[in-house]
Amino acid sequence: MTQIVVVEDEPSISEVVSLYLNRAGFEVSTFSDGLSAFDSFSKKLPDLVILDVMLPGMDGFSLIRSIRDRSDVPVILLTSRREESDRIAGLELGADDYVVKPFSPQELVSRVRAVLRRTQTKLESPIQGIIQTGNLSINPQTREVIVNGSEILLTAKEFDLLYHLAAHPRQVFSRDQLLESVWGLHDFIDPSTVTVHIRRLREKIEKDPTSPMRLVTTWGVGYKFEP
């Protein structure tokens, strides 16, 4: 059974979310603060985490940072409508998606299913060859990326995005095309997600992230991989 952890300090939200997720066939554990949720992860990682940004003690951002230090478990953030900066910060820290409060529980269930589908499709996707170009090597079987002989740690989405671009060298993709190919459900996700991921990838693989040689912007159109 798919296990979901909900970290939310407002009991009314936590209860309704649990109810809908249970009805949708998920097993749910709830925590009202970040620290106890984090403690539970050291015993067992769930299949997905739903995380409120505003929590007492260890906030959602600290928690997602700690989670990403050791795991690619999918994370959906709950954020407030006013704080766009929160959503960007959350994605930069490695959240897979976010839902803005107030949200309908049914919408959250759809997001959960979409995120799980993306994570699972990844496992089922056919194995393709290693991409080797200059100082960069990308292995889709082991999901390892080597730059100048050292392994670079990427989140699941960063890897998928890099692999998709590198598998189609010099082809320019718009942000919408990348959302559709890499994230799957572009209706639900903000196109700035792509920008954020490209920026993070450049910081990890480019010699000088401010003048990228690999992940190149084609102004007004999108991005391409330069081999």
Instruction: Give dist(CA 131, CA 136) in Å, integer.
Output: 8
* Residue among 87, 76, 78, 226 at smallest CA distance from 165: 226
Residue carrying structure tokens 């890897």: 159
**Nearer to Ca ion among residue 9 and residue 92 (C-beta):** 9
Please give the structure tokens belonging to residue 137: 């090597």
Q: Which residue is nearest to Ca ion (CB)?
A: 54
Shortest gap between Cβ of 138 and Ca ion (angstroms)?
39
Nearer to Ca ion, 54 or 116 (CB): 54
Quote the least distance from Cβ 60 to Ca ion, whole Å: 8
Q: Which is nearer to Ca ion, 45 or 54 (CB)?
A: 54
Rounded distance between C-alpha atoms, residue 41 and residue 19, angstroms: 22
Instruction: Supply the minimum distance, in Å, between the C-beta of residue 53 and Ca ion.
Output: 7
Nearest approach in angstroms of CB 3 to Ca ion is: 22
Q: Which residues pair with 225 in a beta bridge?
A: 215
Task: Please give the Cα distance from 175 to 14 (Å, whole number).
Answer: 34
Q: HSE on the CB side for 102, CA within 13 Å?
A: 4
Binding site for Ca ion (CB under 5 A): 9, 52, 54
Cα 164 to Cα 64: distance, rounded to the nearest angstrom? 25
Least Å from the CB of residue 52 to Ca ion: 4
Toward Ca ion, which CB reaches closer, 57 or 134? 57
Judged by CB, which is closer to Ca ion: 79, or 193? 79
